[in-house]
Structure 1
């Protein structure tokens, strides 16, 4: 039997966007896009657990969030490729906050290598982080959310690469992000009876520590200028920012989007038109 999601038609706007009393986990949240997402969710009132492969950096980011907003914020070690690591971080969130309402699968990597030069190990690593990591996180989130009438929302950070081909050298990345977009649809079908919504957000390229390092890793042979032009094409007259994407994630996490599940929202400055 499918759980009926609440009709929020009579709810005031300020309450619709508020996350007060809710608890969120953000994977890969210690810096960049993940940190921007965690900041906006915390500003809206959510308690935050930042999971990151770098535990010290996760704790530093959590302390920064707690200093800015009157919420509880924790940092924890999380390797999204390891289901036990993901489970341990989720258990910490559940024990500290009592419940997990929001889970953002943000952790991702995108090494750039032409197909003919891509070793098996690189392909496996990209899919382990970008695809299996989303599966591990979503499964663990749903296990915690399904045990209570509150339900929840899982938000997968996809990419414009989940809709189209992109810069040369990103075959593994493009494949992994198409996989995440597919999982978003399928998990929405499976989790709806549990009261859980699943949404994707597909950002265009935005300047973060990881993105800029990856762009700089292009060698002249790979024509880094052409690659950057593909990644930064915009119809709004500027490059996007991490906070541009974080605000879309906040919309997905809030009751503003209760009619939506299974969709992937393009936050792409018109790039994929």
Structure 2
């Protein structure tokens, strides 16, 4: 199955996600919620998956009311294969299909290499790398069964291209892994009409990373409390906001990017130039 030529579509048709169904992991707040909002604005029905079911449900209600699409909030632990499969099944059963999957959930504890426990290391990789694989696998299985192709978008990081800051060895390693997974899956899934793309944000303040920074400080961790000077360095002169990343994710999910797969797009304000 080849990706169709969409040259005859209007710009409005290319960006539209009407009659498509999306799942966004870690979608209860922050980048995930911003992405879900833009997908819904473009017309997609959206399943919000989050480790916190209350956050997922609240976000789903808000997005559905704002954009008039069908939404569903579900509890999802991206490290648990059964939990991820259950969310994928809910998307198909309740909404009718699964066309877009956004692997957004992530963790980023800041711990010196000297203090890093194996448990912390494994947990970061479980969420940031295993979670990407599980989400992509379950999405691809259902997209392949339907025979209509689809798009998988992995939210990576500029940490998938370079070292980031002291204390982030597990995070940087996991994001390099996620970028590699994106490239490999794009090869395996292209014959099925499934595109796989990555989006690599620089530091963007969200509720989640502010809470993580505070927790690192109070726990006595190696608190490289965001934002660091490295994170603040960008030629455009400002930090990103969640919608800066959401718009790139929308581009990836839409037919605007129909001739792209395997790439990871830097959404970093030029900070990696």
> What TM-score, normalized by structure 1, do the two folds share?
0.96
Kindly state the Cα deviation for residue 243 of structure 1 after the two structures are TM-superposed. 0.1
Kept after mapping to 2: 8 A contact 1:215/1:228 = no
- How many pairs align? 271
Question: Is residue 143 from structure 1 mapped to residue 137 from structure 2 by the alignment?
Answer: no
1:266 matched residue in structure 2: 266
Distance 2:170 2:241 in 1: 24
Equivalent in 46, 49, 71 of residue 47 of structure 2: 49
Once the two structures are superposed, the pairs formed by residues 98-137 of structure 1 within 5 Å of their partners are 98-137=96-135
Kindly state the Cα deviation for residue 80 of structure 1 after the two structures are TM-superposed. 0.3
Distance 1:30 1:258 in 2: 28
1:160 matched residue in structure 2: 158
SS in 2 for 1:21: coil
Kindly state the Cα deviation for residue 64 of structure 1 after the two structures are TM-superposed. 0.4
Distance 1:96 1:194 in 2: 24
Once the two structures are superposed, the pairs formed by residues 1-273 of structure 1 within 5 Å of their partners are 3-217=1-215, 219=217, 222=222, 224=224, 228-273=228-273
Distance 1:89 1:138 in 2: 12
- What is the root-mean-square deviation in Å for CA atoms of aligned residues? 1.5
Distance 2:226 2:205 in 1: 17
SS in 1 for 2:210: helix
Kindly state the Cα deviation for residue 98 of structure 1 after the two structures are TM-superposed. 1.3
Unaligned stretches of 5+ in structure 2?
none
Kept after mapping to 1: 8 A contact 2:109/2:216 = no
Structure 1 residue runs of 4+, over 2 Å off? 213-227
Say which is worse superposed, 174-183 or 147-156, in terms of deviation. Answer: 147-156
Distance 1:92 1:154 in 2: 17
Say which is worse superposed, 10-19 or 147-156, in terms of deviation. Answer: 147-156
Kindly state the Cα deviation for residue 258 of structure 1 after the two structures are TM-superposed. 0.4
Distance 1:212 1:127 in 2: 21
Kindly state the Cα deviation for residue 216 of structure 1 after the two structures are TM-superposed. 3.6
Kindly state the Cα deviation for residue 214 of structure 1 after the two structures are TM-superposed. 2.7
Kindly state the Cα deviation for residue 238 of structure 1 after the two structures are TM-superposed. 1.1
SS in 2 for 1:137: helix
Write out per-residue CA displacement over residues 68-117 of structure 1, whole angstroms, 9 at most, x where no aligned residue.
01100100010000000000111000001111000000000000001111
Distance 2:206 2:179 in 1: 22
> What TM-score, normalized by structure 2, do the two folds share?
0.96
Distance 1:222 1:230 in 2: 16
Distance 1:78 1:66 in 2: 19
Kept after mapping to 1: 8 A contact 2:216/2:225 = no
| Cα separation, partners in 2 of 1:169 and 1:227, compared to 1, 3 Å | farther
Distance 1:34 1:226 in 2: 19
